[in-house]
Amino acid sequence: MTASSDDSSSLGLARWYDLFSRGARDWLRHDEKVREAVREHLPKIIANGDVINDSARSVRVPVRMLEHYHFRLRNPGDSQGVGQGEAKPGDVLADGNPDRGSEKGEGGDGDGGIQLMLEIKIDDIVDWLWEEMQLPNLKARVGPSDDSDWVREGWDRRGARSRLDRRRSVKELVKRQGLGGPKTFTDEDLRFRQLARRRQPAVHAVVFFMLDVSGSMSDRDRKLAKTFFFWVVQGLRREYRSLETVFVAHTTEAWEFAEGDFFQVTGTGGTVASTGLNKVREIIDARFSPARHNIYLFYASDGDNSIGDHAPAKEALDDIATKACFSGYVEVASGLSRQLATETGRLFGDAAADGAPVASYVIDDFDGVWGAVRHFFNAEAKALG
């Protein structure tokens, strides 16, 4: 009945609750669940154009705390309560705010709905994307090189001294001690890292991003294109150990740009797609042999190409199609979508009809970016499969 006096500090002993927080543990599990939930809204995240900062390796996504649901009565229009203090019937203690009504109705749990910012690694998103789309592994046209590499794989009880995994070995010791074995290391406890030889996927790839920067392309169009390109790079990086990127912008002329400048470029005047396509051709011929590189081309435009350019552009595209694994045309039409019934749309449509590895897609808004990524990578997988 007396108060216990085993004060932790006086005995110099830590109690279990000093070392371990259940609340934190369960909070971490909540955090994981939020991530899973966010994952289900992947298209939305991808649609978020602000996600892409050149150097950012993560994305911040606002999320709500999860609610563990219980059966509850429907929210009554008015609720009643009991208060205490100097007040007469008819007194108004708080004024109504007509704006609040709608806000409160939808699932607000009355806790003021704390918002969290969740930081998600771009790599994770790409992982999810890949699983989500269940893409057959993209096959490289240029066969795998002979490159192979040693990778770590599993543990064994025997091995070279240099591969001894100390942490793992101590674990074994502890396990055995738990079963009442001797307290010193024996050979039985030692664990060595094993290596296995793994073939590396195709190594060299180059992706051309070609952007129409003519006067008709609005800022929004350019941003749509940029978002799309961003995810394409992420996707291809996954497949190729060394991925080079080449950025080409064109109006009636074409230029190669560094990535940093590429999206800032604004041009004026008309659109002659063949200039851009020829520039790509030139660069391929000069720097990337199709025999040693897997070549990709993605072209973003609003579709307005000058009428007279059809033949030269077709010729250039056909030539590229023989050298590239895949060419994609994405029509960014934030203003009015003509569903590829444009000059450039026809150009790529014709090439596809000829059986070239070419596909087209329209992006009207940011939500469409997801569809585009999915479309191209499935199409590409098919074209190569």
Partner 1 sequence: MSEPITGPAGDWRSYVQNMEELAARCGMNFHPVEFEAVPDTFMMEIAVYGLPVRMPHWSFGVRYIYQLIQRNMGNSRLFEVVFPGNPGHAYLSNGNGMAENVLVTAHVLGHADFSRNNLLFRRCQEQVSEHIVEHAASHARQISQAIETHGPQRVEAALDAALALEQHIDIDQRLRRERYPEFLPDPKALVDDDFRRRFASLDPVAAHGVFETKKRAPVPPHPERDLLWFIAHYAPEMESWERDIFLAVREESFYFYPVFATQIMNEGWASYWHARLLREADFIPPEAYVDAIKCHSDVVRPMAADQQVALAVNPYHLGFSLWEKIIEQQGLEAARRIMQEDDDFGFVRNHLTREMAEELELFRFTARNDGQIKVMDRDLHGLHEALLAPKYNFGAPNIAVSKLGNDGALELEHDHVTDGRGIDVDRSRKVLEYIHRVWRRPVTLHTVDQGGAALALASQ
Binding site for partner 1 (CB under 8 A): 1-5, 7, 10, 15, 17-18, 21-31, 33, 65-98, 100-101, 104-105, 107, 111, 114
Give the up-direction half-sphere exposure of residue 113: CA atoms within 13 A in the CB hemisphere.
Answer: 10
Q: How far is the CB of 3 from partner 1 (least distance, A)?
A: 4
Q: How far is the CB of 171 from partner 1 (least distance, A)?
A: 16
User: Is the Cβ of residue 92 or residue 179 nearer to partner 1 in the bound state?
Assistant: 92
In this structure, what DSSP letter does residue 133 have? H
Q: How far is the CB of 42 from partner 1 (least distance, A)?
A: 20
User: Is the Cβ of residue 95 or residue 187 nearer to partner 1 in the bound state?
Assistant: 95
User: Is the Cβ of residue 8 or residue 137 nearer to partner 1 in the bound state?
Assistant: 8
The residue among 171, 216, 201 whose CA lies nearest residue 189 is 171
Query: Please, what is the Cα angle at 82 between 80 and 87, to 5 degrees?
Result: 110
Q: 46: how many CB neighbours lie within 10 A of its CB?
A: 26
Q: How far is the CB of 89 from partner 1 (least distance, A)?
A: 5
CA distances from 320 to 74, 140, 147, 296 (A): 63, 17, 27, 9
Q: How far is the CB of 281 from partner 1 (least distance, A)?
A: 53
Q: How far is the CB of 86 from partner 1 (least distance, A)?
A: 6
User: Is the Cβ of residue 6 or residue 146 nearer to partner 1 in the bound state?
Assistant: 6
User: Is the Cβ of residue 76 or residue 143 nearer to partner 1 in the bound state?
Assistant: 76
Question: Strand 326-332's sheet: what is its strand order?
Answer: 254-257, 242-250, 204-212, 294-301, 326-332, 358-363
DSSP strand pairing (294-301 vs 326-332): parallel
Q: What is the C-alpha end-to-end distance of the chain, expressed in Å?
A: 78
Q: What is the CA radius of gyration of the chain?
A: 30
User: Is the Cβ of residue 143 or residue 178 nearer to partner 1 in the bound state?
Assistant: 178
Q: How far is the CB of 9 from partner 1 (least distance, A)?
A: 9
Do 292 and 204 touch, CB atoms closer than 8 A? Answer: yes
> Which letter, b or e, does each residue of 297-313 get, where b requires 16 or more Cβ atoms within 10 Å of its Cβ?
bbbbbbbbbeeebbeeb
User: Is the Cβ of residue 85 or residue 355 nearer to partner 1 in the bound state?
Assistant: 85
